[in-house]
Amino acid sequence: MWTKKDLQQLIKDKMGEYLFIVVSNRQPYVHVLKKGKIECQRGAGGVITALDPVMQACNGTWVACGDGEADRKVTDKQDKVKVPPENSAYTLKRVWLSKEEENGFYYGYSNEALWPLCHMAFERPVFRKEDWDYYVQVNKKFAQAVIEEVGNNKAFIWIQDYHLCLLPKFLKEMAPNQLIISHFWHIPWPNYEAFRICPQRKEILDGLLANDLLGFHIRYHCDNFFDAIDREIESKINRESFSIVRRGHETFVRPYPISVDFAGISEISDSDDVLKAKGALIEELGLCGLKVLLGLDRIDYTKGIPERLLAIDRLLEKHPELKEKMVFLQMGEISRIHIPKYKALNDEINALVEQINWKHSTDSWKPILLMRRHLSFHELLAFYRLGDICIVSSLHDGMNLVAKEFISSRTDEGGILVLSQFTGAARELTDAVLANPYDREQFSEAIFTALNLPEDERRKQMVKMREVVGHSNIFRWAGKILSELLKFEFKE
């Protein structure tokens, strides 16, 4: 089993003389103002969940967009700040975007074009030339920030996700002999029939082929990428070595199922702070004596939140005996609210919660509690610990780390995971209660099955899933990628 120390030793032994730089759109820590004081919050999202413990083991540099209201107040002249605040382990270098750049690059091309293109959630992508222009401009801005950091050194660069498709190419053009570049794609890669509608598909593929190593969650996404290359780009595909040669440059493509810091989460979950936070949540929300069903998501149309609410509605229609005995607690931060589809989704969720609560509530009880507030990491783990069932109902998800965080937090070996079969995690967590969120009847029955699972069967399932996540933890994921990356040699 890979540990944090194993990863640290690998980096010390093999990467000591080189720089190690992670690049992503979203930053791992955000500085905000609260009651006139600067407070540092851990960022939300799967990329942060996965990579923050890796970076704390690596002592590298993380380049990301600065978007917190107090971010500029704490950075130095090179736009850097040490993080995390309580135990500085690595450097965060911030890239600043104008509102126009943020709107075109992030809200526009990244999240109205690429995000729906890659997720089979039946949302039509929107391609606007001005958004693409900003996408190119911001990718160049990131390239300049990385090159500033590299200077005259040699560096391993690890790029994250769909926001930075063009960055590998720009970096190789600016410093062809100084960089070895890996890129991990955190969302699904679509099949070719979906991908071919993208007007900039050749530019995206060309950008990604500048990587030395390109990673996806599962083999199916790798195969989809090969199909796109085969149809669109003149290159030599080697299915045996799983690589692509384009203009003399070879890119290796690999599946790397992402995970979480199992040992770290397990340890913190048993702490007094988490147990106190759990007690506070139970008291605040009046959960004592109730079966608690959990949902934890960023408010996004790929997460299947309306489908989840409708399944709870159907559950109570079919099993009215559950009234006043259970509650569904949905926690979710609003995201991308500037995009009309996300605003409409938020309104739809509000309406469904109100409708279902009106339909099923009694004088002293309502079935659904909807909360939208930022949770500290300790509160997040407390949230997981108070649940009898955690429901993950993504309509399409590259992996889904909520499922793995929930399992990692359950050192009590309690709780059941109801998991969408359309997540990458469903391929590993086969002992979860699997559900089809598109099928309201089957979904509600899956929840009912989970509620009525015998205690010994619950425990057996959780023990097996904890073994899976414990073995395939975040340090094993990072170690496998970095071990592969370290096989590459810098050009002279």
What pLDDT shows up at residue 14? 85
User: DSSP letters of 169-197?
Assistant: HHHHHH-TTTEEEEEE--SPPPPHHHHTT
Which CATH code, of 3.40.50.2000, 3.30.430.20, 3.40.30.120, 3.30.300.20, is assigned to 4-259+475-485?
Answer: 3.40.50.2000
Range list of H helices, 85-182: 99-101, 115-118, 129-150, 167-174
Per-residue HEC secondary structure of 316-342 comes to HHHCHHHCCCEEEEEECCCCCCCCHHH
Closest CA to 69 of 34, 100, 45: 34
- Answer for the pair 167, 148: CB distance below 8 angstroms, yes or no: no
Q: Which helix (H) or strand (E) holds 406?
A: helix 401-409
Query: How do the domains of the chain map onto residue ranges?
Result: 4-259+475-485, 264-470
Which CATH code, of 3.40.50.800, 3.40.50.2000, 3.40.50.300, 3.40.50.720, is assigned to 264-470?
Answer: 3.40.50.2000
pLDDT by position in tens, the chain (length 492):
888 889 888 888 888 789 999 999 999 999 999 888 999 988 877 788 788 888 988 889 999 999 999 999 999 999 999 999 888 999 999 999 999 999 999 999 999 999 999 999 989 999 999 999 999 999 999 999 999 999 999 999 999 999 999 999 999 999 999 999 999 999 999 999 999 999 999 999 999 999 999 999 999 999 999 999 999 999 999 999 999 999 999 999 999 999 999 999 999 999 999 999 999 999 999 999 999 999 999 899 999 999 999 999 999 999 999 999 999 999 987 888 788 899 999 999 999 999 999 999 999 999 999 998 878 889 999 999 999 999 999 999 999 999 999 999 999 999 999 999 999 999 999 999 999 999 999 999 999 999 999 999 999 999 999 999 999 999 999 999 999 998 998 876
Domains 4-259+475-485 and 264-470 share a fold: yes
What pLDDT shows up at residue 492? 65
User: DSSP letters of 192-221?
Assistant: HHHHTT-TTHHHHHHHHTT-SEEEESSHHH
What pLDDT shows up at residue 127? 98
The three-state secondary structure class of 441 is helix
Amino acid at 292: V
